[in-house]
Amino acid sequence: MMLSSVETRMSFLRSEIERHNRLYYLHDAPEITDAEYDVLFRELLELEERHPDLAIPDSPTRRVGAPPLEKFFQVPHGIPMLSLENAMTDGEIVEFDERVKRFLGIPLEGEIEYICEPKMDGLAVELVYRDGILTRGSTRGDGFVGEDVTLNLKTIKTVPLRLSTPEPPRLVEVRGEVFLPLKAFQRLNAEREEEGEPPFANPRNAAAGSLRQLDSRITARRPLSIFCYGPGRVEGFEFRDQQGFLAAVSGWGLPVNPQIRKVSGVDGVLGYYREMAEKRDTLDYEIDGVVVKIDSFALQRELGEKSRSPRWAIAFKFPPRQAVTVVEEIVPQVGRTGVITPVANLRPVEVSGVMVSRATLHNWDELEKKDIRVGDTVLVERAGDVIPAVVRVLTDKRTGVEKAVPIPASCPECGSETVRFPGEVAVRCLGLSCPAQIRESIIHFASRNAMDIEGMGVRYVEQLLRLGLVKDVADLYSLTRDDFMRFERMGDKLAENLLNAIEQSKRRELSRFIFALGIRHVGEHTAKLLAEAFGSIRDLEKAGEEELLTIREIGPEVARSVTTFFGNQRNLEVISRLLAAGVCPLAEEKRLGGRFTGKTFVFTGALRRFTRDEAARLIEREGGHAAGSVSRKTDYVVAGTEAGSKLDKARALGVTIIDEDEFAGMLEGGST
Ligand code: IVH
């Protein structure tokens, strides 16, 4: 039997959409933008509406999201987590409003009360609070069954482990959107590029990648946030409307977006939309539209749901921030750790109000995969990044003169041969005296979050190097006024300021100093952990891998990198010269205030609620320590079922013995 062209198209759309779902949800690596996905999705929806006989029950339009990953435990949602229908134009909002009124039998001139919320571009989760205690957290998954990411959600600092109310509901399921603030996203991607790991395509993928980590230590290092926006099952409490819900959960300590507002009628909605479109660039998180919800829960219930979305809400999407331009040049750029990345210089173009003339291409794999050539016409997108990205090449615009740029075989700055380590996407220059690396490492050392030498930016560092006045960071501290006076356009006052700034930088916190050294894998956060744990640079220098591994959140990769760094004679010399020049890093106070600070726990027997690793991580997160054997120093022994000799020893030594539930209670806020 011949398939009709409509049937062929529908089958093509179904498999394309499924493929993009997998790329997006399972691999966190979308090939097309949301706007492009929406076009495919809408076309399939329309065809199914026009040809209901050709619609199949397992079409991607019938499901809400993607299948959950197998590696997490699956959790069914008490009430399915639905999706939203999209509106692109004012007209579609007017239609939505009319549809609602007709359904409810409200006269068309009446005005409905709506709650307008920013549409967060992150990933949806559900938090389950039983008697006020966070007992479970899960992703949306396919809308019916999600993934159990409880431990990871507990690492989000703004997620309360216990609701702050004396009389919490018996059960309340709160839904919200987890996201990564833009600044954190940019920092994370910069780090990943330096480490030769593929960067995340956008903040949402970064948030998803961070939350769906089997190792919650990794999640803990990503400053994820959450805004709560809706209820699931509720027992022992009644919310009357969306406004009441938001006020209640906010009162219980759950984060709610402060931009949310109640408005009347279509005009109110359109006004809010315009306002948010203007604010969009000033927010520290990505939003891709606004969500419009009918305030009253009674009306929501009356309207009910269609198969995958409610009738009482709609997503009013912003136009995509994309534009078309031409790649004029692709240049290799050498970073502080020698990673060479391609950067595209573009014919300047305006993307929703911002002039764009450069785009990161992240790495050579991506350049190759997207097949971007000099002279190509490309689609660029500003997605929560200062530097925009090339989405794809418009290949039908090719004329044949476009030139592919090969991976550089040698460093563009020092000529050393480049290398690529197995398993890494990064191309590196290993030249020890590569001027680009030296320049970038000095700029890093002086930068705001490191030693904060005010005024010591690219321009001056370049001149210092050109004049041969510095060869490494320690040389900065022997510079004199005369040295600076050799600069172009330098005056007494400016020279004085620079000298002062250098002098002041001698007394920075130890964590800044450690970060400033530019040890691989040691970002600001890790530097803080190391500073807290060791208290002085000399003690850190002496630390072995084993000792480093006892520190909460420090894994083998970081430990090895730290010992390698301090195992290098040249690095030790530079540090000695820094200290001799008067640099005196200040030890910071140990982080106190964790629930288990200074306490040692030992586990024995089988646990039901946690794996040993999970329990150990939770203890460390609260500043405590999980040990393998019982001694006089042990504060608590947590006894599971069939506990053995450790329990006997604990009894003999008089150590406090608790069961798993008591332990869980302590974690959730009981006393120690
Ligand atoms: S309400 C049935 N509110 O958008 C109600 N969703 O396509 C559905 N989203 O899966 C959700 N911000 O991930 C709602 N303020 C907000 C939202 C929001 C972002 C996401 C959410 C949901 C998707 C719907």
Mutate to test the pocket of ligand 1, among 229, 280, 297 (most ligand atoms within 8 A of CB): 229
Mean local confidence (pLDDT), 96-119 = 96
Mean local confidence (pLDDT), 236-242 = 97
Q: How far is the CA of 176 from the centre of ligand 1 (A)?
A: 8
**β partners of residue 350:** 355
Q: How far is the CA of 305 from the centre of ligand 1 (A)?
A: 14
Q: What amino acid occupies position 228?
A: C
Would you tell me how many other CB atoms lie within 10 Å of the CB of residue 487? 18
pLDDT of 510 higher than 50: yes
**Tokens representing residue 338 in the block:** 């020698």
CA 102 to chain centre: 42
- For residue 269, with 0-12 CB atoms within 10 Å meaning exposed, 13-18 middle and 19 or more buried, which class applies? buried
Pick the CATH number of 322-397 from 3.50.50.60, 3.20.20.105, 2.40.50.140, 3.30.1360.70: 2.40.50.140
Contact by Cβ (8 Å): 314, 88: no
Q: Angle CA(244)–CA(292)–CA(313) in degrees, nearest 5?
A: 90
User: What are the backbone dihedrals phi and psi of residue 534, each rounded to the nearest 5 degrees, phi first?
Assistant: -105, -30
Among residues of the chain, what percentage have pLDDT more than 90?
Answer: 58
| Fold classified for 600-667 | Rossmann fold (3.40.50)
- 71, 119, 471, 633: the catalytic one is 119
CA 207 to chain centre: 4
Residue of minimum CA distance from atom 11 in ligand 1: 83
Q: Is 217 helix (H, G, I), strand (E, B) or coil?
A: helix
- Residues 539, 552, 253, 316, Cα dihedral to 10°: 110
Is 637 near ligand 1, meaning CB less than 6 Å away? no
Range in 242-246, 332-336, 416-420, 643-647 with the lowest mean pLDDT: 643-647
Range in 30-39, 364-373, 495-504, 582-591 with the lowest mean pLDDT: 582-591
Integer-rounded Cα radius of gyration of the chain: 29
Would you tell me how many other CB atoms lie within 10 Å of the CB of residue 435? 15
* Exposure class string for 64-97: b at 16+ Cβ within 10 A, else e: bbbebeeebebbebeebbbbbbbbbeeeebeebb
Q: Angle CA(386)–CA(387)–CA(388) in degrees, nearest 5?
A: 110
Among residues of the chain, what percentage have pLDDT more than 70?
Answer: 96
Q: Is 229 helix (H, G, I), strand (E, B) or coil?
A: strand
Q: How far is the CA of 235 from the centre of ligand 1 (A)?
A: 22
Q: What amino acid occupies position 655?
A: V
**Tokens representing residue 415 in the block:** 């000529």
* Closest ligand 1 atom, residue 123 Cα: 13
Q: Identify the CATH number of the domain defined by range 86-317.
A: 3.30.470.30
Mutate to test the pocket of ligand 1, among 119, 125, 227 (most ligand atoms within 8 A of CB): 119
**Whole-number Å distance between alpha carbons of 141 and 68:** 5
**Whole-number Å distance between alpha carbons of 643 and 555:** 29
Is 141 near ligand 1, meaning CB less than 6 Å away? no
Is 207 near ligand 1, meaning CB less than 6 Å away? no
Q: Which contacts of 364-369 are long-range, i.e. CB under 8 A and separated by 24 or more positions?
A: 364/407, 364/425, 364/427, 365/198, 365/425, 366/198, 367/330, 367/342, 367/405
pLDDT of 69 higher than 80: no
Architecture of domain 435-504: Orthogonal Bundle (1.10)
Q: How far is the CA of 246 from the centre of ligand 1 (A)?
A: 14
For 63-98, the DSSP string reads: SSS-PPPTTSPEEE-SS------EE-SHHHHHHHHH
Q: How far is the CA of 297 from the centre of ligand 1 (A)?
A: 16
pLDDT of 25 higher than 70: no
**Whole-number Å distance between alpha carbons of 599 and 36:** 53
Q: Is the Cα dihedral 203, 204, 210, 213 positive or negative?
A: negative
**Tokens representing residue 390 in the block:** 């090339």
Is 290 near ligand 1, meaning CB less than 6 Å away? no
518-575 pLDDT, tens digit each? 998 898 888 988 998 888 999 999 999 988 988 877 888 899 999 999 998 989 999 9
CA 280 to chain centre: 19
DSSP state of 22: I
Mean local confidence (pLDDT), 150-173 = 91
Q: Does domain 5-63 have CATH number 1.20.58.220?
A: no
- Is 71 tagged catalytic? no
Q: Angle CA(118)–CA(121)–CA(126) in degrees, nearest 5?
A: 90
Residue 591: per-residue pLDDT? 46
Q: What amino acid occupies position 190?
A: A
Between 665 and 63, the more confident residue is 665
Q: Does domain 510-580 have CATH number 1.10.8.50?
A: no
- Fold identical between 435-504 and 510-580? yes
Residue 609: per-residue pLDDT? 78
**Tokens representing residue 567 in the block:** 């195992």
Range in 304-308, 350-354, 608-612, 668-672 with the lowest mean pLDDT: 668-672
Q: Which helix (H) or strand (E) holds 557?
A: helix 556-566
Contact by Cβ (8 Å): 175, 124: yes
Domain chopping of the chain, boundaries:
5-63, 86-317, 322-397, 435-504, 510-580, 600-667
